[in-house]
Chains A and B, each alone.
Chain A
C-alpha cells in the first residue's frame, strides 16, 4: 500500500536559516507528489506539486522540493526561513492509476525563532 512518511513532527529553525522538511513515500507506480501548508486557523493551501515533469519543483513563498526516485523522497526546502513560514506542512502522494485521492503524511510543524 502507498504511504507517506514525514520525519519529524516538529522542526524548529532560526529566522534566516535553511528549512528542510523531509518526506519519503512508497508507491508502486510513478506518483504525483504534493506539499500543502496549513497556517494557524486556516485551511490547507497547495505549496507545490510534482507531476513527472522537472524533478526540481518551485512553489510559492520561496519553497522548492526535489523528487528523487532512487531515494523515494520529496523533501521540502527553503534557503532562508521567515517568521511567516511558521505553519504545519503536509506531504501527500496521489498514487496514480484510477485512484484519485491523496494519501497524506502526519505533518510537520515548523517553528521559526527570531
Chain B
C-alpha cells in the first residue's frame, strides 16, 4: 500500500498477557518509529530504527517493552505481562533516512488492557 499500515487496529487483552503489534512502513523508508499516545496526551517516543544501525531504545518505558525490525521492512512491538497503564494507542511512523522531510504515521493500534 501507499501508506504505513498497522495491525491489529484494536486489541483488548487481559492484564498479564503478552501482546504483539505490527507495523508495515512505507516502501523505501529506512527509518521506523514507535510512539505511544495515552488518552488526552501527546505522543511519547518509544523506539527508533534507522537502517541496519542499532535501534534507539531510549524511550521504552520498561523492560517489558521490546521491538524488532527485519531489515527495512516490518516491525513488531511486543509488550510482555501487560499492565493497565499500557492502555494507549500505539502509533508507528516511517520516514526517509533521518526524517527531515517528516514522518508518516499509521492509523495506530488501540490497546486496552483489562
Bound Cα distance A44, B6 (Å): 13
One digit per residue, 1 when the CB lies within 8 angstroms of any chain A CB and 0 when it does not, for chain B 2-13 equals 000000000000
B42 & A43 in contact (Cβ 8 Å cutoff): no
Main secondary structure of the interface of A (DSSP, over half): strand
Query: On chain A, which size bracket covers the interface?
Result: 20 to 34
Please give the distance in Å from B99's CB to the nearest CB on chain A: 5
Q: A43-B105, A49-B102 are in contact. Are A101 and B42 (CB under 8 A)?
A: no
Stretch at the interface among A13-21, A64-72, A102-110: A102-110
Please give the distance in Å from A40's CB to the nearest CB on chain B: 13
Bound Cα distance A106, B40 (Å): 8
A94 & B99 in contact (Cβ 8 Å cutoff): yes
Q: Is residue B31 contacting chain A, with contact meaning CB distance below 8 A? A: yes
User: A52: nearest residue on chain B (CB-CB)?
Assistant: B100
User: B92: nearest residue on chain A (CB-CB)?
Assistant: A43
Q: A100-B48, A101-B48, A101-B59 are in contact. Are A46 and B41 (CB under 8 A)?
A: no
Bound Cα distance A35, B77 (Å): 26
B103 & A102 in contact (Cβ 8 Å cutoff): yes
Q: Is residue B25 contacting chain A, with contact meaning CB distance below 8 A? A: no
One digit per residue, 1 when the CB lies within 8 angstroms of any chain A CB and 0 when it does not, for chain B 36-79 equals 00000111110010100000100100000000000000000000
B33 & A100 in contact (Cβ 8 Å cutoff): yes
Residues of B within 8 Å of A46, CB to CB, are: 102-104
- Which of B31, B42, B99 lies in contact with A104, CB distance below 8 A? B42
Residues of A within 8 Å of B56, CB to CB, are: 99-101
Q: Is residue A63 contacting chain B, with contact meaning CB distance below 8 A? A: no
**Across chains A and B, which 4 residue pairs bring their CB atoms closest together, nearest first?**
A44-B105, A106-B42, A104-B43, A104-B42
Q: What is the interface of chain B, defined by CB distance below 8 A to chain A?
A: 31, 33, 35, 41-45, 48, 50, 56, 59, 91, 93, 95, 98-108
Assuming A44-B91, A100-B50, what are 7 further A-B pairs, CB within 8 angstroms?
Answer: A43-B106, A43-B108, A46-B104, A99-B56, A100-B95, A101-B45, A104-B43
7 A/B residue pairs, CB under 8 Å, sorted by A: A49-B102, A99-B56, A100-B31, A100-B98, A101-B33, A102-B33, A107-B42
